[in-house]
Structure 1
Amino acid sequence: MKVKTIEDAREFVKEVKICTIFPSGKVEHTSLWEQVDLPDKQPGESGWGVKMGAVWTWKNQLPADYPNEIYYGKIKGGFAVLMEMDHLSGTHFPAAYQPVESLNPLAQRIFEYIRNEPWTTTELRNEVVSACGCSKSQFDTALKNLQISMNVVRDCEAEQDTWLTFQEVYADIWNQHVPDGV
Structure 2
Amino acid sequence: MIKTIEQAYQFVKKEKVCTIFSSDKAELPSLWDHVDLPEKQPGEKGWGKRMTAVWTWKNELPAQYPNKIFYGKIKGGIAVLMDMDYLASDHFPRAYKNIQTQDSLAQHIYSKVVLEPWDTTSLRKVIMEEVDCTKSQFDTALKNLQITMNIARLNDPQIERDTWVAFKEQYLDIWKQRADDEEQ
Give the alignment's TM-score, normalised by structure 1. Answer: 0.96
SS at 1:54 equivalent: helix
What are the equivalent positions in structure 2 for 1:152-167 lying under 5 Å apart?
152-157=151-156, 158-167=159-168
**Residue matched to 1:51:** 50
**Residue matched to 1:148:** 147
**Residue matched to 2:66:** 67
What is the CA distance between 1:180 and its match in structure 2?
A: 10
**Residue matched to 1:106:** 105
Give the residue type in structure 1 aligned to 2:26: V
What is the CA distance between 1:179 and its match in structure 2?
A: 5.9
Structure 1 residue runs of 5 or longer lacking an equivalent are none
Structure 2 residue 159 is matched with structure 1 residue 170: no
Q: Which runs of 4+ in 1 moved over 4 A?
A: none
* CA distance in structure 1 between the aligned counterparts of 2:119 and 2:153, rounded to whole angstroms: 9
What is the CA distance between 1:42 and its match in structure 2?
A: 1.2
Across the two proteins, how many residue pairs are aligned to each other?
A: 180
Give the residue type in structure 2 aligned to 1:9: A
SS at 1:72 equivalent: strand
SS at 1:46 equivalent: coil
Give the alignment's TM-score, normalised by structure 2. Answer: 0.95
Distance 1:126 1:180, change over 3 A: farther
Identical residues among aligned pairs (%): 58
* CA distance in structure 2 between the aligned counterparts of 1:13 and 1:65, rounded to whole angstroms: 13
* CA distance in structure 2 between the aligned counterparts of 1:110 and 1:178, rounded to whole angstroms: 23
**Residue matched to 2:91:** 92
* CA distance in structure 2 between the aligned counterparts of 1:91 and 1:104, rounded to whole angstroms: 25
**Residue matched to 1:77:** 76
Q: CA RMSD in A?
A: 1.3
* CA distance in structure 2 between the aligned counterparts of 1:68 and 1:82, rounded to whole angstroms: 13
**Residue matched to 1:35:** 34
What are the equivalent positions in structure 2 for 1:8-19 lying under 5 Å apart?
8-19=7-18
SS at 1:41 equivalent: coil
SS at 2:130 equivalent: helix
* CA distance in structure 2 between the aligned counterparts of 1:53 and 1:117, rounded to whole angstroms: 30
Structure 2 residue runs of 5 or longer lacking an equivalent are none
**Residue matched to 2:114:** 115
